[in-house]
Structure 1
């Protein structure tokens, strides 16, 4: 068949391909970016679904507005207000089918073939694929433990004049990094100075383990005059409530939301009204704070266990920053003691030992660091984490392969 040439720029997800190898009995997986299904508030969602069907069955089961189910937009605006976005109105956001659709809509509305887009190195794999599908030339900005390096980012903006900059500032996937408040303010200042759209993707910001992270870039925009019109913000219920609901949202300047709504009409008409009505009832019920508190506690324990186990089992052969939230460890093999430094080879050996993770290379749009890897602690309990990391230690024990 004569497929569209845009498909020449993308390939299937390396992570999805890896899942095909995970059928081996007894394997412990640190590979997925999933929340733990045991954390889902099933009773609360069941009650919310029943209320949606009882109180407004027509709204829950009929076609709906492309912009989103109005009661949900109202609840989401209140949710964002609780996180410091004081001036948000229901009309200031559209509901998307997961935040992944928000990214796709940004690609459709903003990217023409050959346009430059700046992303972090590393960044969310699906974003790389999505933006390349629309013909973007991806420019990468380096990340350290405090998020994107804003001095380098500003140099890249000045040099390349991108259509937009895409950031995951809070517990990024895969880096786990948290952009400092100081750097968030610098991002806002450079958005105004260079008249450049900043896309803030924030699916993990509520999953903090100790002190809350700094306010979102969107929330801080009120402190930098003129910056709000240069910010688009993607949110999601997937990591905090349920991925199966496929409920996300996009906040942005009115003209951007209008174009995104038009493209969404062509794509899926609207996000499932039943899912939206269920999410609206859940947020209205007031159960979310307790759900988040439980999830944070469990993930914090697992992250602590994984960090301790990595230090114990792999020692100086691996380096990482202990995450302060989110779902991931981002680590680098050092090659110390003659041990493996190639994460791709390490992944193969790990599978043989009955444990899986994702090598870091696919998360780089350009110039991948082959010694990096991503480990998720979300879906394994403490005992499984300790056993799995023990297996990683055995897998890494062999000599470096030249």
Structure 2
């Protein structure tokens, strides 16, 4: 007596691995930003300033689509992401995950969609559960393989294409600029929309302009959040889309009113003070240092056959053995990671996602040694 979604929804591999790995000493599984980087003092001061300025207004119901103060500050923030508002509208959400849920409700009713293979299963599920067919498009070092997508578009129509262009989760690759331009043209030619999920851009360093930057047709819906650059628990993100889509999404968002009013004012305050933009370069360098340590450690321990991650938190590697069995052995040694097969629509049984987000430099080095040991026991 439940819906199809109620029957089909399952625990995510990230959540499952996290539950199983609570006792592990070394955490190469987490997708959360490093808690040491959360600007607690700035956030605390912002709450005080917001309450003093807005009083009871800070605790009222949020308006549909977001508070005007925050929307204005996000518009000023867009150039730091390589974007301009133009003819588009900004719609505030409770993080990128909420945005995906709203977009799934708006676009999909047993439709055909295409998605990178692998993809981030937690956000993709919001689309997957409302679609009828999910078509996997493989990745390489330059992101989604356009030629494979073209071949598919010649024989089947799709409603949406879901893409993570920067610091891909879990693959770590960056979509090339040429492919970004071509995707927009394909969307117009074959009459589909692109959801550009871009939460890592604020910490990505030098990457190509967003797919949305090349969008002349209103075909791209851009999704971002402040979770990676600031703090995930504040739960604030946004959508940039053409007016028709944005207005409808705002109405759907009213069904849950989930985006906290006071947190919107806090983010607005931090944007206005430059706290967020001033952190971008430092945080990129901080994570890149740890990511390079991971890649060097993998090579030192004999893991030579993997696509090098270019930014973000994650490195995807092929363990050459069943990743869940290796995971079980790794836990015995005090190491956690995420078996990556659930991130794949096709294949991936031997793949693992390693994360540098919360681990220290020494823990990363030790974790790779333990991973090698866990594999050798299989």
Structure 2 length-normalised TM:
0.96
Match of 1:284 among 249, 260, 272: 272
Is the CA contact 2:116–2:136 (under 8 Å) kept in the aligned structure 1? yes
Structure-2 separation of matches of 1:237 and 1:269: 19
Cα distance in 2 for partners of 1:59, 1:79 equals 24
Structure 2 residue matching 1:138: 3-state secondary structure: strand
1:63-142 equivalences under 5 Å are 63-88=61-86, 92-113=89-110, 115-142=111-138
Residue matched to 1:338 = none
CA offsets per residue over residues 48-77 of structure 1, 9 Å max, x none?
Answer: 211111112243211121110111111111
Task: Return the offset for 1:319.
Answer: 2.3
State how far apart, in whole Å, the 2-side matches of 1:207 and 1:84 are: 13
CA-CA distance at 1:245 after TM superposition: 0.6
Partner of 1:157: 153
Kindly state the Cα deviation for residue 270 of structure 1 after the two structures are TM-superposed. Answer: 4.8
Cα deviation 1:293-320 (Å, max 9, x = unaligned): 221122111111111111112x14x522
Q: Any unmatched runs of 5+ in structure 1? A: 336-340
Stretches of 4+ aligned residues off by more than 6 angstroms: none
Aligned counterpart, 2:195:
199
CA contact (8 A) 1:65 1:270 kept: no
Report how far residue 377 of structure 1 moved.
Answer: 0.4
Task: Give 3-state SS (helix, strand or coil) of 2:116's partner.
Answer: strand
Alignment of 1:236-275 (within 5 A): 236-266=225-255, 268-275=256-263
Task: Give the structure 1 partner of residue 354 of structure 2.
Answer: 375
1:383-398 → structure 2 map (5 Å cutoff):
383-398=362-377
Kindly tell me the number of residue pairs found equivalent between the two proteins.
378
Question: Is contact 1:7-1:133 (8 Å) kept?
Answer: no
- State which of 288, 293, 301 in structure 1 corresponds to 2:289: 301
- Hey, what does 2:326 align to over in structure 1? 346
CA deviations over 1:26-51 (Å, ceiling 9, x no partner): 52111111100110111111122111
| Aligned match of 1:4 | 3
Deviation of 1:18 (Å): 1.7
Distance 1:23 1:376 in 2: 15
Output aligned runs, 1:8-47, within 5 Å: 8-24=7-23, 27-47=25-45
- Offset at residue 383 of structure 1 (A): 0.9
Instruction: State the distance in 2 between where 1:241 and 1:383 align.
Output: 24
Tell me: CA distance 1:390–1:200, structure 2 relative to 1, closer, same or farther (3 Å). Answer: same
Q: CA deviation at 1:145?
A: 1.1
The CA distance in 1 between the partners of 2:177 and 2:11, in whole Å, is: 36
What is the deviation of 1:286? 1.0
User: Aligned to 2:201, what secondary structure does the other structure show?
Assistant: coil
TM-score normalised to structure 1 length: 0.90
| Aligned-residue offset at 1:121 | 0.2
The answer on whether the counterparts of 1:81 and 1:88 sit within 8 Å (CA) in structure 2 is: no
2:104 and 2:244 map into 1 onto residues whose CA distance is 15
Question: For the residues of structure 2 that align with 1:286 and 1:248, how far apart are their CA atoms?
Answer: 17
**Which residue of 206, 211, 216 maps to 1:217?**
211
What do the CA deviations read for 1:179-232 (whole angstroms, capped 9, x no partner)?
0011111111111211211110000112225xx0001111232xxxx33x1110
> Secondary structure at the residue paired with 1:252?
strand
Work out whether residues 65 and 91 of structure 2, in 8 Å CA contact, stay in contact via their aligned partners in 1: yes
After superposition, what is the alpha-carbon deviation per residue over 1:79-131, rounded to whole angstroms, capped at 9, x for unaligned?
11333323447x71110011111101111011112x10111000011133222
What's the Cα RMSD here?
A: 1.6
Partner of 1:61: 59
Matching residue of 2:339: 359
